[in-house]
A and B are shown apart, each in its own frame.
Chain A
Amino acid sequence: MRILVVEDDTNLNRQIKDALTDAGYAVDVAFDGEEGHFLGDTEPYDAVVLDIGLPHKDGLSVLEEWRRAGRTMPVLLLTARDRWSDKVQGIDAGADDYVAKPFHMEEILARLRALVRRAAGHSSNEITAGPVRLDVKAGKVTVDGHAVKLTSHELRLLSYLMHHKGKVISRTELTEHLYDQDFDRDSNTIEVFVGRLRKKLPEEVIQTVRGLGYQILED
């Protein structure tokens, strides 16, 4: 899961990035509205954390432009203005949720998790595929009730595939969603991680669709 964080306060930006990275997300950051708008417009993100008060271009304008251009990724607004009229304005501009500053980092993580899950069409914190069960909140995977230890990269890969269960996901898409923009993208690493996952999980869970990519089948 790849997340964009647009926040002009460098400290806060770093804190959110660290917290999200720790939670297993690939994170890109932007410090002003224009940069944020450009990244959100060109890169595929699974969710965006967007501050409203940004230099160069304010958050609401950025959000409206994305929505006009057909970008549908879930957006979590961050703002100090916590009046309901601000909230209404934010939601009407196309935001999916809203966190008022100052917030607890857990709040951001919980809201983001819910947004990503909802965007993928899952209503609970647990996603299952056959014997494999993914607890999104805890970031834990079990097979037939037994815990499986995964590295953060493996978890990211599995999580993305399980969120988009039933769909064929290309290697390019996986690369785009699993790594931040500074990562040296080599699609071979995807194959390496898929190979490792297949060893830890029942082999038939992740299917290879020749020439197209990978898929976890719907139950």
Chain B
Amino acid sequence: MRKGSIAASLFWLSAGWLIIALLATAFLLTELYSRALDNSLSETLKFHIETLVDRTLATNDPASETIRVGDPRFERPASGWYWVIRDATGQVINFSGSMVGMLLPELTGSYDANNVRTAIESDPFETRMRVVEQAATVNGTRLQVTATGSLDEILELVDEFRGQTLIVLTAVAIMLAIMSTIVARIALRPVGRLGKAIEKVRAGDAENVGGTYPREIAPLAEEVNELLRSNTQIIERARNQVGNLAHGLKTPLAVLRNEASAAKDSALSRVVLSESEKMTQLVTTYLDRARIAARSAVVGKKADATHVMLRLARVMEKLNPDKTIAFVRPDASLPWFRGDEGDLEEMAGNLLDNACKWSGGKIAISMVAERSPSGANLLIKIEDDGPGLTEDEAKAVLRRGVRLDEKTPGSGLGLDIVKELVDVYGGSLQLKRSVLGGLLAELRLPGAKLGLGRGLSALSPQ
């Protein structure tokens, strides 16, 4: 069921994207910065070339010693800052003081509209240089004036800039990552709420998923509700069909059985009698099973046990006017039964019916809440003053694994349906000796959570 986490995926996705975006930004900024520096260097070199051309014009001799540039770096040997004046054939006519024992390579590219060409070269000392060369005609002589400036200084500045940029951008990335985590948390809060709402339905505290949800997950909540509704409908339909089948089969069975027992002595009637008995058994068994299967899928139901037991006691008193049923009214904090009201009636009704059948006149019903690791349990005690059961008999009656389809006809206590239902709800049934002298049946069932139960009791249909 579980695979990854939306919050984690969001985090990694946005973190990955941030890293790429910020690295690109850092690269771009550095690139722009280095280009700006390079451009400004080229402009400086062009300015120096203009100075050299001006001087040449002034002296009218390209080879004159007086042709100099003010920048002292051009006088420092091996500085990377050089200038040279060549004639049209490439013969060096004049050069800067920094050019000691070296030659500048000649450029090969074509001139632009201003008769300028540029390139990046290295001098013999491995210093990378921006080289700018201009073709100029001075007093009828064609000259090539070349100036170079060290790029290493610029590269150092760029490196420094890159380092600072990375620090700043890393800080930004961390802040953005934290923000995206917070955003994911906030964005996912409704999902958590939805989970809690569904859990409430499962726990029997709500009939459907309540609350309002954002557009993205509202359809999920609606679908869950729709599913619950259709589930209930299917169960309802299954129950109805089971009921119809029961009615349809039981009347003809009753007719067959009565007809056969009226004419007891023929072979035919004996066969019909025994076979219709088997059919009755099968019908009962499978109807019970179908009912249990239909009901085990019921979620989100709960019932007021006090209400149900009062009603059952009233019915049993009407059916057995010669028996008295003492009903110990529980206090209002008694948990509700987490399950179907009809099922509770079925379990308690059968136990109460047994109590009435066997009692000498006195039956007692009491209910208490019990703490258990899984929450509040509901304990319903039904006792009578009849003969009761010995420990061995009680064990035999309650033996696990005896399913409906193995039951022998006339087993007497009709506890099979009770046992099956108790299993469905994860409860327990114990048979003990009552202080009244007869049987004490202790029915333990899961309780619906307190607190919420009170609030909802007003809403649940009665």
Q: Which residues of A contact B (CB under 8 A)?
A: 9, 11-12, 15, 18-19, 53, 79-85, 87-88, 91-92, 96-98, 100-105, 118, 123
Contact A84 B342 (CB under 8 A): yes
Contact B321 A80 (CB under 8 A): no
Contact A84 B259 (CB under 8 A): no
- Say yes or no: is B172 at the interface (Cβ < 8 Å to chain A): no
Give the CA-CA distance A104 to B258 in the complex, in Å: 7
A97 contact set on B, CB distance < 8 A: 319
Identify which of B23-31, B204-212, B344-352 touches chain A. B344-352
Q: Which residues of B contact A (CB under 8 A)?
A: 243, 246-255, 257-259, 261-262, 276, 280, 291, 311-312, 314-315, 318-319, 321-322, 341-342, 345-346, 349-350
B259 contact set on A, CB distance < 8 A: 11, 15
Give the interface centre of A15, A98, A100, A101 by most chain B CB atoms within 10 Å.
Answer: A101
Contact A101 B250 (CB under 8 A): yes
Q: Which of A87, A102, A118, A123 contacts B250 (CB 8 A)?
A: A102
Contact B321 A118 (CB under 8 A): yes
A123 contact set on B, CB distance < 8 A: 322
Please give the distance in Å from A6's CB to the nearest CB on chain B. 13
Give the CA-CA distance A87 to B311 in the complex, in Å: 11
Contact B312 A80 (CB under 8 A): no
On whether A83 and B255 interact (CB within 8 A), knowing A88-B311, A91-B315, the answer reads no
Please give the distance in Å from B171's CB to the nearest CB on chain A. 70
Give the interface centre of A9, A15, A83 by most chain B CB atoms within 10 Å.
Answer: A83
Q: Which of A9, A79, A87, A104 contacts B315 (CB 8 A)?
A: A87
A100 contact set on B, CB distance < 8 A: 250
Interface of A is mostly: mixed
Contact B246 A80 (CB under 8 A): yes
Q: Which of A15, A18, A53 contacts B255 (CB 8 A)?
A: A15
Give the CA-CA distance A105 to B261 in the complex, in Å: 9
Please give the distance in Å from B45's CB to the nearest CB on chain A. 102
Q: Which of A12, A81, A82, A83 contacts B254 (CB 8 A)?
A: A12
Q: Which of A9, A53, A88 contacts B345 (CB 8 A)?
A: A88
B342 contact set on A, CB distance < 8 A: 83-85
B249 contact set on A, CB distance < 8 A: 80
On whether A101 and B346 interact (CB within 8 A), knowing A81-B246, A96-B318, the answer reads no
- Nearest A residue to B248, CB-CB: A80
